Amino acid sequence: MKHTLLILSALLFSRIGLAQTPPTDSTAVSPVTVYGFLDAYYGFDFPTKRQQRPAFLYSHNRANEFALNNGLLGIRYQQGSIRGALALQAGTYVEANYAAEPEPLRHVYEAYAGFQPTQNIWLDMGIFSSHIGFESAISKDNWTLTRSVMAENSPYYEAGVRLTYTPTPRLTLTGLVLNGWQNLRDNNRGKALGTQLQWKLTDRLLLNSSTFYGNEQPQDSARRRRFFHDFYVTYETSKRLQLALVFDVGLQEAPNRVADTWHTGAALARFQLSAQWQATARAEYYHSRHGVVIQSSRPLAASPLFQVAAASLTTGYAPTPQLLVRLEGRVWRGKAALFDPTAMGAATHTYGSLTSSMALSF
């Protein structure tokens, strides 16, 4: 953590130095961009004795305390056919979601270098955001304050190489070779493959299809291949209303039985109430017969079926483009008793939460 703070300070001072250096050409655009994001939050849960939210939630996962979900500071460089990025992060999201990663890498949000071999093609290598999903780790970019259960249990980040081809302004094709399913360090020496297709059919309609294929078992375990597909569509009906449908399905080989499968979906509607106010309603579900990816706060051996439904309402106020204040209410219902009211209490079928956030970006 000490080294992280030193690097963050160096980035800040480098930005100050850039700002103080007089430009040689008033029309020149700097190839260096410094950016930052800070998401402070407070959560309150029902039952009220909980401090750690369910184990399958990684963002905004603390209750009854003021906390930093994610604070990051980064620098990006692009000039001609070369680009790169480095960003460091800290917060409860990092503590929860990067627990299995090597400690020196846990505070790296992105770190990659790339070049453009030909027009409309970029080749990048390093650590970057996942090509899977409708939502990102940066909460302000998401329609809702908290991430959906499907997004929480699919990759936030990836390490590998990606090739991005944009034949037209409306179509982007991406191919990836990865260390695995949200793995900064490869756990079995086998590489995973990924694809993404984003097609903007009109100015209002966007389709996305993302896939993942690879073996996700440790090196000394039997090979069990995983296939995963993420699909979503967004449609802007007007300047005041946007709609989104998201559906994921996964399959993983299982010893001595039919392959394990899981599927999950969400429907969202975002309303622009005024220039500064917005609201988003979300309904979602997650169904997994044998767990596979998702981990509940109850032992999966006691209840292998993981099936939940949830609904949420998020309201947001943006006094400036750099600041977003949001409040979200969310309720859950599980087919099994998946939620612990306390560390030692009896599990319940239902669970509710309120989450508030103040997010600053530059």
- Domain at 257, CATH number: 2.40.160.10
Q: Is residue 90 part of a domain?
A: no
- At residue 16, the 3 state secondary structure works out as helix
Q: Is residue 26 part of a domain?
A: no
Q: Is the pLDDT of residue 22 over 60?
A: no
Measured in residues, the chain has a length of 362
Buried b (16+ CB within 10 A) or exposed e, 157-168: bbbbbbebeeee
Q: Are 228 and 248 in contact (CB under 8 A)?
A: yes
Decide which of 255 and 70 is more confident.
Answer: 70
Q: What is the pLDDT of residue 297?
A: 54
Q: What is the pLDDT of residue 251?
A: 94
Residues 25-44 have pLDDT tens digits of 555 689 999 999 999 999 99
Q: Are 147 and 312 in contact (CB under 8 A)?
A: no
Residues 6+ apart with CB under 8 A from 321: none
Q: Given pLDDT bands bounded at 50, 70 and 90, which one contains residue 339?
A: confident
Q: Given pLDDT bands bounded at 50, 70 and 90, which one contains residue 8?
A: very low
- At residue 94, the 3 state secondary structure works out as helix
Q: Is residue 345 part of a domain?
A: yes
d(CA 183, CA 177) in angstroms, rounded, equals 12
Average pLDDT over residues 223-233: 93
Q: Which amino acid is at 218?
A: P
User: What is the pTM for the complete model shown?
Assistant: 0.87
Q: Which of 80-94, 154-168, 181-195 has the lowest mean pLDDT?
A: 181-195
C-alpha R_g of the chain:
21
Q: Is residue 217 part of a domain?
A: yes
Q: Residue 258's CB: how many other CB atoms inside 10 A?
A: 9
Q: Whole domain around residue 314: which residue ranges?
A: 117-361
d(CA 130, CA 137) in angstroms, rounded, equals 9
Q: Given pLDDT bands bounded at 50, 70 and 90, which one contains residue 294?
A: confident
Q: In the chain, how many domains are there?
A: 1
Residues 125-183 have pLDDT tens digits of 999 999 999 999 999 999 999 999 999 999 999 999 999 999 999 999 999 999 999 99
d(CA 347, CA 330) in angstroms, rounded, equals 18
**Tokens 């059919």 identify what position?**
201
Q: What is the pLDDT of residue 38?
A: 98
Q: What is the pLDDT of residue 17?
A: 43
Beta bridge partners of 357: 41, 326
Q: Is residue 25 part of a domain?
A: no
Decide which of 23 and 170 is more confident.
Answer: 170
Q: Is residue 88 part of a domain?
A: no
Q: What is the pLDDT of residue 20?
A: 43
Q: Is residue 104 part of a domain?
A: no
Using a CB cutoff of 8 Å and minimum separation of 24, what contacts does 223-228 make? 223/190, 223/253, 224/252, 224/253, 224/254, 224/255, 225/252, 225/253, 226/181, 226/250, 226/251, 226/252, 226/253, 227/251, 227/252, 228/132, 228/154, 228/181
Q: What is the pLDDT of residue 94?
A: 97
Residues 6+ apart with CB under 8 A from 20: none
Q: What angle do CA 192, 198, 200 make, to 5 degrees?
A: 180
Q: Is residue 14 part of a domain?
A: no
Which is it for the CA torsion 165, 171, 172, 175, positive or negative? negative
d(CA 356, CA 352) in angstroms, rounded, equals 14
Q: Given pLDDT bands bounded at 50, 70 and 90, which one contains residue 217?
A: confident
